[in-house]
Amino acid sequence: MSVTHDVSVQVHRPASTVERPAARGWPDINNPAAWIVAAILLIMPLIANGFFLIEIFATTLILGTVALSLMFLAGYGGMVSLMQLSIAGFCAYMVAVFGVSGNANISLGWPWWLAVPMALTLAVMFGTLGGALAVRTEGIYTIMITLAIGAAFYYFTNQNWAIFNGHTGINNVSTPRFWGVDWRADIPFYYVVLATAGLCYFAVDYISRAPFGLALQGVRDNPRRMSALGFNVNAHRVAAYAVASFIAGLAGVLQVWNYRQISPGSVSVGACIDILIIAVVGGITRPVGPYIGALVFVLLRTFALDFLVKIGLDGNRFRLLIGLGFLAIVFWSSDGVIGLWQRWRQSQLGEANRQGGGRGHG
């Protein structure tokens, strides 16, 4: 339907409003690629060994979930927050502080089912407070404030010994065991991570079409008009930070269970910026983007070292590869890898239609 033809639309009125279901379906429910990916993720333990399962896929899902919280804020709310990893890290610290760890003088020794809700509550409070500061600004100033919060938290964890145990951090954090299962064993842990990531992914996608998410996109597009429609724009933004903090907090819980320790190195400024890179490389227009970005990031981080050494370069230069990839993505595809993928698919579909034949991709 072209725009030029629409002038006539105003003259003849449609006889009746066609009833359309107001609620929209789940994303990509008709997309075979999504079903294949879901199936592969579910049977992953049959395919992959422990190293791949945890070091690649569980790590990807955890980092992707942190980046998802940024995607929620940036993609729907237009707020680029660099403190999402700090919130995840704060939650991880709180799990270690309230739960059981090797540092008996710090940890309170609560069972995990008490420590985790407590940690999540505090993480949401932390993120909401930071958000309340950040929403008073826009654009680059939001980035600066959240980066400042992230940097301050990093240095605070380094210097505070009473709670955060300084630069050594908290080690030997205990992980849940119940129903006769060690939930940190590779396969159970993979499923815990997959379930959490899947829950966050579908929640974000669902909320994006609910009044709260629609209003958030309205705030992104035109905050002044949203106010002139009766919305309290700042309250909406702060609420978005609270939701994003909860998602980041969940990822933080998984992170501390994954490594069984948490130290300032995990919440460094560089790690905060990695989350931005992951989200942008994957694409911040759709919730799947951060997970794709995280997979690219984790694969590069894990294998670029060997690759670089093989071709005679310093293995620590893997960040150079990530940086170049980041530049390429920002330069050629502002909506990240999913943007590339969508354009490629459209061109494939166009080709297939021209040939009048079947679909050219699998």
Partner 1 sequence: MDSVAQRLSAVGAGAALELRGVTRLFGALAALTDVTITVRPGERRAVLGSNGAGKTTLFNCITGDFPPTSGTIRFFGEDVTHFPPYERIRRGLRRTYQISALFPGLTVQDNVYLACRGVSRGRFSFLRPGPNDALMHAADNLVQAVHLTAVKDQRVAELAHGQQRQLEIALALAGAPRFVLFDEPAAGLSPTERAELIEILTSLPAHIGYIIIEHDMDVALRVVESVTMMHNGRIFKEGLPEEIQSDPEVQELYLGGGHE
Both tokens of 304, joined, read 């670029």
CB of 16 to partner 1, least distance (A): 9
Question: Does 207 interact with partner 1 (rule: CB under 8 A)?
Answer: yes
Q: Containing H/E element for 182? A: strand 181-182
CB of 125 to partner 1, least distance (A): 18
Question: Does 7 interact with partner 1 (rule: CB under 8 A)?
Answer: yes
Please count the residues of this chain forming the interface with partner 1, following the rule CB under 8 A: 42
Q: Which is nearer to partner 1, 127 or 150 (CB)?
A: 127
CB of 352 to partner 1, least distance (A): 25
Question: Does 215 interact with partner 1 (rule: CB under 8 A)?
Answer: yes
CB of 223 to partner 1, least distance (A): 10
Question: Does 6 interact with partner 1 (rule: CB under 8 A)?
Answer: yes
CB atoms within 10 A of CB 269: 16
Quote helix, strand, coil % in the chain, to nearest 5: 70, 0, 30
d(CA 237, CA 41): 33
- CA separation, residue 251 to residues 63, 225, 264 (Å): 7, 34, 17
255 within 8 A of 62, measured Cβ to Cβ: yes
CB of 17 to partner 1, least distance (A): 5
Q: Which is nearer to partner 1, 15 or 162 (CB)?
A: 15
CB atoms within 10 A of CB 128: 20
244 within 8 A of 146, measured Cβ to Cβ: no
d(CA 91, CA 266): 12
Question: Does 209 interact with partner 1 (rule: CB under 8 A)?
Answer: yes
Question: Does 21 interact with partner 1 (rule: CB under 8 A)?
Answer: yes
Burial class from Cβ neighbours inside 10 Å (0-12, 13-18, 19+) for residue 25 reads exposed
Q: Which is nearer to partner 1, 15 or 311 (CB)?
A: 15
Q: Which is nearer to partner 1, 54 or 216 (CB)?
A: 216
Among 13, 30, 162, 362, binds partner 1 (CB under 8 A): 13
Question: Does 17 interact with partner 1 (rule: CB under 8 A)?
Answer: yes
Characterize the bridge pairing of strands 177-178 and 181-182.
antiparallel
Question: Does 221 interact with partner 1 (rule: CB under 8 A)?
Answer: yes
Q: Which is nearer to partner 1, 168 or 222 (CB)?
A: 222
Which residues make beta-bridge pairs with 182?
A: 177
CB of 80 to partner 1, least distance (A): 17
Measured in whole angstroms, the distance separating CA 188 from the mean position of its chain's CA atoms is 22
Here's the x/- map for partner 1, 41-80, by CB under 8 A: it reads as ----------------------------------------
CB of 189 to partner 1, least distance (A): 29
Q: Which of residues 224-283 bind partner 1 (CB under 8 A)?
A: 224-233, 236, 239
Query: Which of 289, 66, 298 has its CA nearest to residue 196?
Result: 66
d(CA 100, CA 172): 8
CB of 316 to partner 1, least distance (A): 41
279 within 8 A of 289, measured Cβ to Cβ: yes
Summarize as ranges the residues that interact with partner 1 (CB under 8 A). Answer: 1, 3-4, 6-7, 9-11, 13-14, 17-18, 20-24, 206-207, 209-212, 214-215, 217-218, 220-222, 224-233, 236, 239
